[in-house]
Chains A and B, each alone.
Chain A
Amino acid sequence: MIWKTIKVGFHRLGSPPTFYRLCRNLSPWLWASFGLCAVIGLYYALYVVPPDYQQGDSYRILFIHVPAAWQAMAGYVVMAILAFIALVWRIRTTEIMAMMCAPVGAAFTLICLATGSLWGRPMWGTWWAWDARLTSMLVLLFIYLGIMGLYAAFEDRRKGARIACILVLVGLVNIPIIHFSVEWWTTLHQGATIRFFGESSMHPSMLPPLVWMTIAVKFMFAAVLLDRSGNELLEQDRRKGWVRGQVGDFT
């Protein structure tokens, strides 16, 4: 019974009008959740947590750098799952969502690289080093940009999406490379200080802002993804009845 309900719900999401309504209705709540979590996270990050005994206040960059890096990678995994579903079951709304993950993921990768560079200058004495972690993260940005470019290069959006979905699955190999780069190679970038399984070397007082900001960027990713997916669906279906029927309702 529950399985059947989930299946029916999943199939309904494949319907463009239902999916569009979901995007429109869910997005404000996700944005509000992002705002709330971000305010709490920033309050902790900039005001509550003490300075680091070695890095002083420079380490506060961590509270945006690390959540952005995690989201850049998590966003790619989400995109790969959606791309796999799109390729196997040919669900158009999933195709659109997979493609709309790319610009959001690229934005987080950009934040991660830029803030990492700004943090590297006072700590390492250089803006950039061709070390394994930094280079693999740069490769992730290029993969995101490549997916966006490939999708945009085709006049037939569905064809472009299918080809770009294959690139998404190929590019997935870069995610474990990023994650394990600090273990496989000798890098300037530090190893993992926060472990989900095992003891973290980070002081517990520094964890609350990190957790709040991580949750905040997850809400933001979801919100932007739904906003962009809704727009893309509207653009693609502009000649269809369900869009024309709603023109009067647009605000």
Chain B
Amino acid sequence: MIPELDYAFYVWSSYGIFAIVIAWQVIQPIARRRRIVAELREEMALREGEYNDPHP
């Protein structure tokens, strides 16, 4: 059974804002961690002389 959730614009907008802010709180730390890890790997590769510059 599919519920009929025909609520007003105000209700859905509120839940939408909640979802967007939550999504940002999830995505932002993941993106930051990926960036830090990529930088660390690059630094280590440079230090060990294994780095291949894609734009020499």
A residues adjacent to B (C-beta < 8 A): 31, 42, 46-47, 57-58, 60-61, 64-65, 68, 104, 107, 110-111, 114-115, 118-119, 121-122, 220, 224, 227-228, 230-231, 234-235, 238, 243-244, 247, 250
Contacts and interface: CB of A to CB of B under 8 A. Distances in A.
Given A107-B24, A224-B29, A247 B37 contact: yes
A150 B29 CA distance: 20
Nearest to A45: B15
A111 B19 CA distance: 10
| Chain B at the A interface: SS class | helix
B14 to A, nearest CB: 4
7 contacts: A46-B5, A122-B8, A220-B25, A224-B25, A231-B36, A243-B40, A247-B41
Given A46-B3, A61-B11, A122-B10, 6 more contacts: A57-B11, A60-B11, A111-B21, A220-B22, A224-B26, A231-B32
Nearest to B41: A247
Contact of A115 (B18, B25, B26, B40): B18
Contacts of A238: 36, 39-40, 43
Interface residues on chain B, size class: 20 to 34
Residue among B17, B22, B29 having the largest count of chain A Cβ atoms under 10 Å: B29
Given A228-B29, A244-B40, A115 B3 contact: no
B40 A247 contact: yes
A114 B14 contact: yes
B14 A61 contact: yes
Contact of A118 (B13, B21, B30): B13
Contacts of B39: 238
B55 interface: no
Given A47-B5, A121-B10, A122-B8, A111 B18 contact: yes
B44 interface: yes
Residue among A61, A220, A234 having the largest count of chain B Cβ atoms under 10 Å: A61
Nearest to A246: B40
B36 A234 contact: yes
